[in-house]
Amino acid sequence: MGRTTPTYRDALSSLEDEYAPYRRALRRQHRPAFDALFEKARAHADAAGHVNATDPRVPFLLSIALAQERELRELRAEVDALRS
């Protein structure tokens, strides 16, 4: 028997397709930032897949928040190092 639920990566791809009209409506300079959000989500796809969520939006948003938190901590450490 095959899988009854799509993988998180499949769900993420479907979510990206769902928001393609939104992306097209964005100004050209904002599209790379939009694409980066999905890259951040794909970077945490292994962990998000373990949640087995019925709605992929929740692990998608959590993955983005986690990536941004990590980046923020790295930037704070750089600023602290420059201040020292």
Condensed to tens digits (0 to 9), the pLDDT of residues 38-79 reads: 999 999 999 999 988 889 999 999 999 999 999 999 999 999
Q: What is the pLDDT of residues 9-35, one digit of tens each?
A: 999 999 999 999 999 999 999 999 999
Q: How many angstroms separate the Cα of 9 from the Cα of each of 30, 53, 60?
A: 24, 12, 10
**CB proximity list for 31: less than 8 A, separation 6 or greater:** 23
| In the block, residue with structure tokens 């292994």 | 46
Cut 0.75: pTM above it: yes
Q: Which class for 12: exposed (0-12), middle (13-18), buried (19 or more C-beta within 10 A)?
A: buried
